[in-house]
Chains A and B, each alone.
Chain A
Amino acid sequence: MRTEGRGADGAFCQCLGCKKILLKSELDEALGVCPNCSHHHRLGAAKRIELTFDPGSFEEADTGLASSDPLGFPEYADKLSKARAKTGAGDSVVSGLAALGGRRVATAVADFDFMGGSMGSVAGEKIARTLERGVEHACPVVLFCTSGGARMQEGLLSLMQMAKTVAAVQRCRDHGIPTLGVFTDPTMAGVLASYASVVDVILAEPKALVGFAGARVSKQAGVSKVPDNFQTAEFCLEHGMVDRIVPRKEMRPTLTRLVKSLGGHLNG
């Protein structure tokens, strides 16, 4: 569980929602959901995989891919190595094959702790490969999203990952492969405006921040008055942009059911 910066030392931690001091083990047992206020704390990719898929079923793929700082962007190389050290992952997306209720799925799980889950060439490539893996293995695709948007340190290359990942979702449609997305906190900008919004089924965790324009952009554009629940999963549900809000403890059974029904026509 990642609740750092809030007295995360020792056996106790503080809820980022209600500020209550909780036993770490208690929060962990509750899948990172505060027993007091139901705040869904962010999860790293490894934890998410562990909590979601059949135990031991995940086989990671695409492990050799690494960002190469193609533009020589200021401070990017440094940020990359810090993010690698922090998460132990190669980039902001972990991809592979897994199982849900005994059924195979291709999956990609984003990690906010890796440079805000931003999508550059590697994340885009992993998501595209995951979708293509669904086609190759004739299995549903489950994508866990969390991202501030496209990774600006890779410039236009990052923008093109939007088109690339959308193209791969389209390929799944062509081949009758169901695609499922889960918006977790936060799912924003270039990720929301690409593959995340064109999958067949969109689930979201409660209160997840979900929106196109970051607060800073909206502010610059003179957007001042906003509804209370603006850019939340609940706002998206209300406006038809999300299919269901699913509390974390129900995520696994919900996904399992959907994979079973929507993927019923597929073998395995």
Chain B
Amino acid sequence: MAKTWKEWEKPLIELDEAIAKIEALIATSPEDKQDELGVRLAEVKARRDRYIDVRYSRLGPWEKTLVARAERRPYTLDYVTALITEFTELDGDRRYGADHAIVGGPGFFNNRPVMVVGHQKGRNIQERQFRNFGMAKPEGYRKAIRLFDMACRFGMPIITFVDTPAADPGVESESRGISEAIAASTMKMFELEVPVVSVIIGEGGSGGAIGIAVGNRVLMQDHAIYSVIPPEGCAAILWRDPEKGPQAAAALRLTAESALELGLVDAIVPEPKGGAHRDPLQAIHAVRDAVKEHLDALTGLDGRTLREQRYAKFRAMGRFDGA
């Protein structure tokens, strides 16, 4: 069983590389070779497309976990760059310091002022360290609280992008109250009298996710995951074997389909064939359309109604016997 997205998609990556090679060859080959190379190119492309068709037609929970973590997947700032005009990132938490695993600020979405808050991961080693692997410290949640509060006072709808393996588990974060920061951010979201749309765009990792995921509408990309615990962690606890991540992923039902079925998200945002990382722009546009649709539906509702709706929505979550 593959353990990373790269491992899992290796055959596909090899086909991509073969295609690139032939294309380079075509660019430098004489006229009389072109037809033959063209045929070969078409052949390999067809093989790749068939491969994508087959692999992505039945992604299991573990495969989705790998795809959700793919480092080529669009991250929050990719959505911001593509969809938010005149964005100004605001960094301060006014308490301790700057956190780079949660980003946010005001801008315009569809020509309307909005506040954006989202987790941010990095793509290379330096970026990943700078973003703390998308694991926010207390400062990140306290920055989010400030931005939420501002948005509420200025009547700006809020869009949050959720993509974190977990909140930061380090000693410093404990010292500065990571639990309180998450809980306070969660609570702040219940006080907001503006529309809030949250999108799970990659990993919805436990408490670190919920702290910025209390939307009036919660959307989830088709191959994103949303889970109370990472499957590897679950496997370590249940079976004392982190290698059993695939079994745990299945047991946890961490897919968008299951979340929708359980009534915990409102809609699934489709992804391009082969996942969001294969055609980021198309993925971003699908998110744009979904966010627009759901924000539009919330527009015009008064603050009190929005708050009540959010309370009722989360209050109803849970499955049990008896009354």
Among residues of A, the one whose C-beta sits closest to the C-beta of B226 is A156
The contact string, 1 if C-beta is below 8 Å from chain A, for chain B 210-228, is 1101100000000000111
> Please, which residues of chain A bring their CB within 8 A of the CB of B321?
65-68
Residue contact B251 to A194, C-beta cutoff 8 Å: no
Contacting pair B187 A66 (CB below 8 A) = no
Which bracket fits the contact residues of B?
35 or more
For A192, what are the chain B residues with a Cβ–Cβ distance below 8 Å? 179
Contact between chains at A217 and B228 (CB < 8 Å): no
CB pair B233–A212 under 8 Å, yes or no, is no
- What sequence of 0s and 1s flags, for each residue 173-199 of chain A, a beta carbon within 8 Å of any chain B beta carbon? 000000000000000011011111110
Q: Does B252 have its Cβ within 8 Å of any Cβ on chain A?
A: yes
Least distance between A64 CB and chain B CB atoms (Å)? 4
B177 to chain A, nearest CB (A): 5
| Min CB–CB distance B68 → chain A (angstroms) | 14
How many CB-defined contacts (below 8 Å) exist between A and B? 189
Q: Is B5's CB within 8 Å of the partner chain A?
A: no
Contact between chains at B169 and A168 (CB < 8 Å): no
Decide if B180 touches A241 in the complex (CB within 8 Å): yes
Q: Bound complex: CA of A235 vs CA of B191, how far in Å?
A: 30
Binds B, one of A32-40, A52-60, A147-155, A243-251: A147-155
B-contact bits for A128-156, CB 8 A (1 contact / 0 none): 10000000000000000000001110111
Minimum C-beta distance from A111 to chain B (A): 17
Query: Which residue on chain B has the smallest CB distance to residue A91?
Result: B320
Q: Using Cβ atoms and an 8 Å threshold, which residues of chain B touch A223?
A: 169-171
Cβ contacts A207-229/B at 8 Å (1 or 0 each) = 00001110011101101011100
Q: Is B264 an interface residue (CB 8 A)?
A: yes
- Does B253 sit within 8 A of A, measured CB to CB? yes
Q: Write the nearest CB–CB distance from A209 to chain B, whole angstroms.
A: 12
Residue ranges of A at the interface with B (Cβ–Cβ < 8 Å): 64-68, 70-71, 73-75, 121-122, 124-125, 128, 150-152, 154-164, 166-171, 189-190, 192-198, 211-213, 216-218, 220-221, 223, 225-227, 230-231, 235, 239-241
Question: Ordered nearest first, which 9 A-B pairs have the shortest CB separation?
Answer: A213-B169, A121-B318, A64-B322, A70-B319, A193-B179, A160-B317, A197-B183, A159-B228, A192-B179
26 residue pairs bridging A and B, Cβ less than 8 Å apart = A70-B320, A128-B315, A150-B207, A152-B229, A152-B234, A152-B237, A154-B228, A155-B253, A156-B227, A156-B228, A160-B264, A162-B186, A163-B186, A164-B314, A164-B315, A166-B187, A167-B315, A193-B180, A196-B179, A212-B178, A212-B179, A216-B237, A217-B166, A218-B170, A231-B174, A239-B175
Seed contacts A198-B183, A241-B180; 8 additional CB < 8 Å A-B pairs: A70-B262, A156-B226, A156-B259, A164-B315, A167-B311, A189-B207, A223-B169, A223-B171
Residues on B close to A: CB < 8 A?
Answer: 166-167, 169-171, 173-180, 182-184, 186-187, 190-191, 206-207, 209-211, 213-214, 226-229, 232-234, 236-238, 242, 251-254, 258-259, 262, 264, 310-311, 314-315, 317-323
